[in-house]
Amino acid sequence: MPGKNLSREEAQQRAAILSVDTYRVHLDVTSAVDPSAATFRSTSTIAFRCSEPGAASFADLLAPAVRAVTLNGTALDPSEVFDGTRVRLEGLAAENLLVVEADCAYSRTGEGLHRFVDPVDGETYLYTHYEPADARRVFANFEQPDLKAPFTFTVTAPAAWDVYANAVHTEVTEEGAARTWRFAPTQPISTYLTAVVAGPYHVERAHYSRESKDGSTLEIPLAATCRKSLAKYFDADEIFTVTKQGLDFFHTEFDYPYPFGKYDQCFVPEYNIGAMENPGCVTFREEFVFRSKVTEAAYEGRANVILHEMAHMWFGDLVTMKWWDDLWLKESFADFMGSYGLIGAGTKYTAAWITFANRRKAWAYRQDQFPTTHPITADIRDLEDAKLNFDGITYAKGASVLKQLVAYVGAEAFFEGARQYFKRHAFGNTVLDDLLVALEETSGRDLRSWAAAWLQTSGVNVLTPQLTVDAEGRITELAVLQDGEPARPHRIAVGLYERDTDGALVRTERVELDVTGARTVVDGLVGKPRPALVLLNDDDLTYCKVRFDDRSLATLREGLGEIDQPLSRALAWSAVWNLTRDGLMPARDYLDLVDRFAGTESDIGVLQSLHQQSRTALDLYAAPEHRGEGERLLAACALRELRAAEPGSDHQLAWARFLALTADGTEHLQLVEGLLAGSARIDGLTVDQELRWSLWLALASAGRATAEELNGELELDNTASGRQHLTHCLAALPTPGAKATAWAAVVDSDELPNALVEAQIAGFAQAGQRELTAGYAAPYFEVIEEIWAQRSIEIAMRIVSGFFPHYQTDEATLAATDAWLAGHPEAAPALRRLVLECRDDLARALRAQAADRG
């Protein structure tokens, strides 16, 4: 639709003449409980000023119908001023009042106002999600982050419901079968940060108090909500514990009181992302309400997200980027603070930096090697660009660079700079230079060259040790070689490891230094015995890929699992995974390392990463002639380690899930069937509902489950999660009919909610079913441009990325992708970016297979 994809230039032009004083938004969602009702009533009243009286501008709105538009008391004809995406405003006065009454659509895609009906009890739930620009699906506004204003919400909802918004409610009035909730004005915030959550949510409450420096007491009411049918699983006490620890930590470090009054955390269904930092009303995906046993890594992950969103209250909500090219000013900081805060706040999750090094940075390394990679401060031309830049660069690479910055300037200078930044720009909008000024003042360092190297360029450097030794085996020189452009300044630690009397690889020397240029000599190691292992970037201070000298690589092949420090071991695992992805280590060698050493891995998060990565290595990087051997190796490893794991432990559960991912032979599948039927038993392993669905998926993919049996499992778990699992399993059945049904459900229809679209795609794309899905490669390239034009961007992204023929790893698929790219130069840039990234994954897989074949 014209004007839907707001450009940066349009936003700049609008911000140059407009400033917003207030929004008053009234939503009537009483129709939500009627399944046939597609819309709700929205009335938006905007008071704003124009610095050029007589000028024209526009408001944003995505709505099926507009009932009335009034500008400064004059009624405008909606058919003339509303084109489906924008409300045209002409002849503006110095001070203006715009009222737009619209019928806005309930969403099933997680964008705008999402409506969900719980299959357990038939209750209806609503919540909003807007980032980067979907508030316009709910009320008319100026949809750009630098036009901040206070918002006053009024919501009319069914009488049995509760309603939550950014501010506290000031009044609730009964009106027959409905209640109207009136909320206090917010602080000035951006449109994408506003929120409404409505429905019969279960709620738990707590309270946080803190004495301020001036002797006053800061009081913050806390709430945590979930659907009623999940209440029995809701561990709100644990959530509140992490919340209070985080509030203590951030108040101490940021020295700026939490500015948004209350702190609600709402766990909502069919959420597209992990969580969203709406001030005073944070929303989370309800998968964080664990209805079955999960590992400690899952709890750590949830705690990390809680602190990530809390950091946004300052980095993003209090101070917001002016436009989306400085998205990193909030996301990189929040991603860094999630891990930093888990340690600094004294939570029980002490492995945060191990998880960061092994999992988050893997995301960054992958994203940063695409041809579409971009600097952390990106060139965001429009909203479609912005949507795609919520990626591994903006989050994980940015966080890695901030970790490097803290090492570079020191923690105290870093946080003092943040404190000055908050006080100077509170409730305003900023760009990169605003932050650099504050950090330069507190650190005394010139950060312009650092920013140019780290924030304004793309790509990942590779660091490799170069050793020379004398005839007696002593080091005469150790240098660090840096590849990749540009050569950046890196603060790193170099660790030397040798075996102790028990055979463990222990660190015997550690040297910290600045690496600059193509070659940097490490001082202080001359005369030391040549070690068994040289580990660059020990302690994970910088963002880089590391390589090994020949002896160190041989040591890892012999005993990677024997490195005694968990973080150092995680870095070694990360390094050999990068070698595998880069085609420098055959996939079968990586699988051999997993087979021999994953069973001794103590960190559960690292272990679960190894499970995922080994599956990727087998499915994409192993040469076809080696896949059968690799499948047998991983399945045997999973069964062996499952039987050896401590009964009832997290490791046992992780290996049970891995068995479900790898089971291929009769022995393994019969065990899976026995675990489901109760005829087989592993001491200490509880086969709860989530594990049951994992086991059913294994059987479905192998053709050892019928649709009738799978539907029978739904009778035991007729919940939203159960329906998603069933959809996944049915689409995974190895039959032409199952694939055709899944394809048609997603491509030929726009009826499925976002969660079921995801489940259909996941079931359709099974690595072991390449022959069944090969025929969909050509139709894929025929439909994606139409899909992009017709679907919401969230759903279109899932379809374009999910249905790409990833497992057709052959030259013909690569050629077909290149032909589409060559034949569609005018396709939407965001669509081309997704296809280019899929193409790069495919080309990488072919290179890795060639290395595995050699």
Catalytic positions are 309
Beta bridge pairs of residue 566:
none
The residue assigned the tokens 């901040």 is 148
Q: How far apart are CA 495 and CA 532, in angstroms?
A: 11
HEC per residue, 710-728: HHHHHHHCCCHHHHHHHHH
Q: How far is CA 392 from each of CA 110, 240, 374, 473, 793, rounded to the nearest angstrom?
A: 21, 29, 10, 42, 19
Residue whose token pair is 């072991």: 768
Calpha distance 64→334 (Å, rounded): 36
The two tokens of residue 164 are 């939550």
Q: Which residue, 246, 134, 188, is CA-closest to 20?
A: 188
What is the 3 state secondary structure string of 201-221? CEEEEEEEEEECCCCCEEEEE
The DSSP-derived string for 757-806 is: HHHHHHHH--GGGHHHHGGGHHHHHHHHHHHHHHS-HHHHHHHHHHSS-T
Question: Among 560, 586, 766, 685, which residue's Cα sits nearest to residue 292?
Answer: 685
- The label of the residue with tokens 């090492």 reads 407
Q: Give the span between the Cα atoms of 48 and 25, in whole angstroms.
A: 14
| 375 backbone dihedrals φ, ψ, rounded to 5° | -65, 160
- What is the C-alpha separation between 102 and 79, in angstroms, rounded? 12
Distance CA 148, CA 154 (A): 19
Q: Give the burial class of 129: count Cβ atoms within 10 A of its Cβ; 0-12 exposed, 13-18 middle, 19 or more buried.
A: buried
Burial of 174 (0-12, 13-18, 19+ CB in 10 A): exposed
CA neighbor of 360 nearest in space, from 324, 330, 402 = 402
* CB contact at 8 A, 18 and 60: no
Q: Could you identify the residue written with the tokens 């192998």? A: 702
List 258's β-bridge partners, or say none: none
Please say whether the beta carbons of 40 and 31 come within 8 A. yes
Q: At a CB cut-off of 8 Å and minimum separation 6, what does 775 contact? A: none
- Look-up: residue for tokens 């675990």? 675
The conformation of residue 638, written as its DSSP 8-state character, comes to H
Alpha-carbon distance 134 to 379, whole Å?
21
The DSSP code sequence of 54-70 is T--EEEE---SEEEEEE
Q: Which amino acid makes up residue 54?
A: G
The answer to whether the bond into 486 is cis (omega within 30° of 0) is yes
Q: Which residue has the tokens 């989306």?
A: 324
Is the CB of residue 817 less than 8 Å from the CB of residue 837? no
Q: Are 217 and 209 in contact, with CB atoms under 8 Å apart?
A: yes
Rounded to an integer, what distance in angstroms lies between the CA atom of residue 218 and that of residue 271?
32
Let me know: does 779 contact 764? Beta carbons within 8 Å. no
What is the C-alpha to C-alpha distance for residues 8 and 17, in angstroms, rounded to an integer? 15
| Dist CA 26 CA 196 (whole Å) | 11
Host H or E run for residue 5: none
Structure tokens at 184: 């206090």
Partners of 676 in the β-ladder = none
- Spell out the residues 6+ positions from residue 236 whose beta carbon is closer than 8 angstroms to its own: 204, 206, 224
